Amino acid sequence: MPSQSRSIRAMSILEAVAKADRPMRAADLMSACNLPRATVHRICCLLSERGYLRQQIGVRGYVPGQKLIDFANLVQASPTHNALRHAVLESVARRVGETCNIAIPDGTEMVYWDRVETKWPLRHQLQIGARVPLHCTANGKLYLSTLTASQRARLLNNIALEKCTPNTTTNREELELALAEIAATGVSADNEEFIEGMIAIAVPIKDAVGRFVAGLAIHAPVVRLSLSAALDHVDILRAAARELGSELVETKDTAKLSKETDEV
């Protein structure tokens, strides 16, 4: 294997941790990055000190740290990547006639990442950067449904299932049943569970290997759009989610090609 610079070795470790679906131990990183144990330990310690990696509590392994998560969000939110994404949202909002948004998981909440507002004056405005609960929003429940049973249990154990409206499910067993149905159908709904008078539906945006990246949703006042009528737009949302997912693949392929060109 050709000699790598320190920065390339660090980047290969960050990439391996970011791509993994579980905490990566030193042995895993040695194998994935073809690096000696001492090098892996030294780089991981440095990246942990700087906040790019962190060790999962109770597990001997590394997961992305907050600085790495923030960095990834900044890249995806940059104008370079924002144009196509926003154009897709505008197309959905125009065809459906209601607000369309993308939300990403961050800790125990979902964060609104991008959105296009409906043209109607009557609307519920949740600004970019707004944080919403997992258990009673369409995007939040969608994300919960993608987790393994143990991952979801650990997360829900640290969430207060607050009663936001009379329709909010606060019973864990009832919530688990709803999440199982969402996992089976790939469609999540908020039937006035977060805000009275507002409904929403969401579908997943997935990466090249089928992992959940973000939720794509529409929401509207129930006086203008019923939940059953909103579900008629699922095919539009799914097509848009596939297009947004393909953008992620193209972005990664372009970055890979650029790296390979630099190394030639």
In a domain, 262, yes or no: no
Indicate whether 144 and 222 sit together in one domain.
yes
- Domain with residue 131: its CATH number is 3.30.450.40
Mark whether 22 and 107 lie in a shared domain: no
Token look-up 């900044």 returns 74
Residue 124 sits in the same domain as residue 216:
yes
Does 172 map to a domain? Answer: yes
229 shares its domain with 121: yes
Domain count, the chain: 2
Judgement on whether residues 160 and 214 belong to the same structural domain of the protein: yes
14 and 105 part of one domain: no
Separation CA 23–CA 44 (nearest Å): 13
| pLDDT value of position 161 | 93
> What mean pLDDT value characterizes the chain?
85
* pLDDT tens digits for range 165-196: 999 999 999 999 999 999 999 999 999 999 99
Q: What is the helix (H) or strand (E) element at residue 175, kind and residue range?
A: helix 172-185
User: What pLDDT score was predicted for residue 223?
Assistant: 94
Burial zone of 149 (CB within 10 Å; 0-12 exposed, 13-18 middle, 19+ buried): exposed
The whole-angstrom separation of Cα 172 and Cα 152 is 11
Residue 237 in contact with residue 92, Cβ under 8 Å? Answer: yes
Q: Residues 111, 205: one domain? A: yes
pTM, two decimals, is: 0.69
Please check whether residue 32 lies inside any domain of the structure. yes
> Are 170 and 247 members of one domain?
yes
Q: In terms of residue numbers, what domain contains 47? A: 6-65
pLDDT in tens, 78-117: 555 567 788 899 999 999 999 999 999 988 899 988 888 8
